A = this chain, B = another copy of it.
Amino acid sequence: MVRLLCVIACLGFLLAAAFWAVSSETAEDPYREYKEYFDPITEKYVDNPDNPVTPEKVELGWMLYHEPRLSKSGLFSCNTCHNPANWGMSKLPVDIGHKWRKTPVNSGTVFNAAYYKAQNWDGRAADLEEQAKGPILDENEMAMPSEELAVERIASIPEYVRRFQVSFPDESEPLPFENIANAIGAFERTLLTPGRWDRFLLGDNEALSDEEKAGMKTFVDIGCASCHDGVVLGGDFEKLGRVQPYESESPSRGRYDVTGKEEDKDVFKMHTLRNIEHTYPYFPDGAVWELDEAVRIMGETQHGLELGDSETEEIVTFLKALTGEIPEHALKLPVLPASTKDTPRPDPN
């Protein structure tokens, strides 16, 4: 009799559990229609079929990312303007480069940039690999006078030669300038910062507070998500000043500078809204330091809306929930190998 009762109790428990599982699967997620605008980060890196991410290449790229010998003066590395300690950027309005020259626009964060449709504010680089070449050769940035000198510096160091052979094993010439950029690009493809926001999108509705979820609704209802959607809530091209012009002294006209087409005037590649509370100052000219001001400006320029204080605050609360976690490997410094007698010396002039 006791045994029978036990069996019945067990069966009852299993039935209840099964019912609960089914019902919670089919129950409507109250945030479903909002979540549909966005995608979570679910991978460790964003691969590139033309430059597959491998552990060897990532480690080499990590070293080169911190390598000041890739700048003419020996002062700058990728890390100078895209420092993981500073959420993947320098947090300066525009950047300072060789001989104290300035870049025309603000440097964006490298974190999650692998998801962008194109790189740079004007989208002039198709992907991270192409982008990586730009600052090395730009006279306002790292100012290497030629690809050859960059290769000569790196190829004079036996440890790098060995690492290029291991990272690009199928290539007869493993160390063209191209592969310096490919290694750096592979490293940057691992710089993803998933966080609470992704847990929320993946089904854990408790990962965001009620205020943050309310902010998300305001964000979507106002129309922000019509452009700021997908994995990085941005990353595509959009006109800055769709309804009202964005006032700026910046020389950059965005995509127009690349294509020369009238319709591309002030069209910029939107940077990500992930980690946005840490990736100030905002906009291509880096002129805006406060997140609430940036939200208000967006309301005006993109939607012709004058956002009230409470709406602005709600959106800012939501945006702060987009802060993720910096992966541990991004916060490590490599030990750079020594130069040799053959290494061309740094030149500050």
Residues of A within 8 A of B (CB): 66, 68, 73-75, 80, 83-87, 90-93, 96, 99-100, 102, 277-278, 280, 289-290, 326, 330-336, 338-339, 341, 345-346, 348
6 tightest A-B contacts by CB?
A: A85-B333, A100-B100, A331-B333, A75-B96, A66-B85, A85-B336
A16 to B224, CA, bound (A): 84
The residue that A338 contacts in the complex, of B83, B93, B277, with Cβ under 8 A, is B277
A326 to B75, CA, bound (A): 21
A83 to B92, CA, bound (A): 21
The answer to whether B348 and A85 have CB atoms under 8 Å apart is no
Give chain B residues whose Cβ lies under 8 Å from the Cβ of A92: 73-75, 346, 348
The answer to whether A334 and B85 have CB atoms under 8 Å apart is yes
**Least Cβ distance of A133 to chain B in Å?**
22
Give chain B residues whose Cβ lies under 8 Å from the Cβ of A80: 75
A181 to B214, CA, bound (A): 44
- Given contact pairs A86-B336, A92-B346, enumerate 12 new A-B contacts (beta carbons under 8 Å): A66-B85, A73-B92, A74-B92, A75-B92, A92-B348, A100-B100, A100-B348, A277-B338, A289-B345, A331-B333, A331-B334, A332-B332
Q: Tell me how many chains of this kind the complex includes.
A: 2
Give chain B residues whose Cβ lies under 8 Å from the Cβ of A331: 332-335
The answer to whether A68 and B86 have CB atoms under 8 Å apart is yes
Give chain B residues whose Cβ lies under 8 Å from the Cβ of A102: 348
Q: Of all chain B residues, which has the CB nearest A289?
A: B345
The residue that A333 contacts in the complex, of B84, B278, B338, B346, with Cβ under 8 A, is B84
Given contacts A277-B338, A289-B345, A332-B333, contact A75 B90 (CB under 8 A): yes
Interchain Cβ contacts under 8 Å between A and B, 24 examples: A66-B85, A68-B86, A68-B91, A74-B91, A75-B90, A75-B96, A83-B333, A86-B336, A92-B346, A96-B348, A100-B100, A100-B348, A102-B348, A277-B338, A278-B338, A280-B338, A280-B339, A289-B339, A290-B341, A330-B333, A331-B335, A332-B332, A332-B333, A333-B333
Q: Of all chain B residues, which has the CB nearest A75?
A: B96
